[in-house]
Amino acid sequence: MVKRNPTAFLGEEVKSLKEKNLFWHVRVLDSASKPRAIVEGKKVILLNSNNYLNLATHPKVVAAAVAATQKWGAGAGAVPVISGTNRLERDFEEKLAKFKGVESALVCQTGFAVNAGLIPQLAGQGDVIISDELNHGSIIDGVRLTKAERAVYKHADAEDLRVKLKEADGKGVRRILVITDGVFSMDGDIAPMPQIVEACEEYGAMVFVDDCHGEGVLGKGRGIVSHFKLQGRVHVEGGSLGKGFGTFGGTICGSRDLIEFAFNKSRTWLLSTAQPPSVMGASIAALDVIETEPQHVENLWKNTEYFKKRANEIGFDTGMSQTPIIPLMIRDSGKAQEMARIVFDRGVFATPIVYPMVAQDKARIRAQMNAGLTTEDLDEALAAFEYAGRKVGVL
């Protein structure tokens, strides 16, 4: 009999991650998530939040969460299909569908749960899923759960997608599902949706876009489908309430048939407790703010353009960014980790992104803009990045 230590690999793996500068150092917020925050007792400029429109602390959103809790309680009480769907959730779904210009919408527990639960139901044995090579990990995991054949096309390359579509079509498969992120979370670039849709329409393929980082950002907050005026031509829109909306949860938007299919088939939705009433109340308020207070989206893009321009002038490579996600390409994991430590000491909280989130030679610090940041905030952050960049030798 072999004598084994069943958990020895845990400590060994952690040690290896630390030695390779790939270990995640998790810092703790001591305040709300807002442009000027307190992290581990230190006042910092927060440049690593998905709270793009600064709605997580908007007075109307916070008040709505409190009011919903007082009226409806702290928890939903059950999974949605049993007794967990309350009137607030249904009201939000109706408002979201109208906002997005689709027939119907469904609130899910998380954006990850949307992909892990829905993708395996949309394609299976005898089908082909074609996915962008830089798609989010939740899409990759959702695809792995299917029995469908898989193909990957070159990042944002509609011509390579067309080649893969032709190959799939030639096999006489039952169904073709094409999946792409709308805004790619590591590089901040935008999927070429018009070309993707045109290629898919030629071959009768279903189009699924994960728009978690596009909602609240593109198309006056409505997302990438609205941005490119493709309503009715994208079959599945996956979304997130935890980013531009400033609340929590995932969403599916599309036809009534899609939504009824999803809530009968997606096991992550069927088998997870429904959203707390506070989240639904806050989400309704956030949607109202996005529609009635356009200055938040406008400020977000103003800050994005200013920061990117100044970062480039300093000498940083901001990669392919087209959105408020702005990578400062460092390439070396150790230098990225060290830069993050230096700027934190100087009052800027930004996160180093290293393998396996990105390729080994693509380490970066990902700066994320927020509508509530001022020009003074950005200048202070840029000065810290410039100091750190020169200190570690990347400028």
CB 275 within 8 A of CB 344: no
* SS3 assignment, position 13: helix
Enumerate the β-bridge partners of residue 379. none
Distances (CA, A) of 358 to 48, 136, 209: 16, 11, 21
Residue of 213, 296, 308, 362 with catalytic role: 213
State the catalytic residue, choosing from 138, 185, 278, 333. 185
SS3 state at 238 = strand
How far are the Cα atoms of 69, 74, 250, 257, 269 from residue 82, in angstroms, in the given order? 20, 18, 19, 21, 11
Per the annotation, the verdict on 243 as an active-site residue is: yes
Q: Quickly count: other Cβ atoms within 10 Å of residue 114's Cβ.
A: 32
Closest by CA to 59, choosing from 277, 372, 325, is: 372
Closest listed residue to residue 183, CA positions, set 358, 323, 327: 323
Compute the distance between CA of residue 130 and CA of residue 165 in angstroms, rounded to an integer: 8
Contact 254/104 with Cβ under 8 angstroms? yes
**Residue tagged active-site, from 136, 235, 243, 362:** 243
What is the spatial distance between Cα 238 and Cα 209, in angstroms, rounded to a whole number? 6
Residue 236 pairs in a beta bridge with: 208, 254
Is residue 58 annotated as part of the catalytic site, yes or no? no
State the catalytic residues. 185, 213, 243
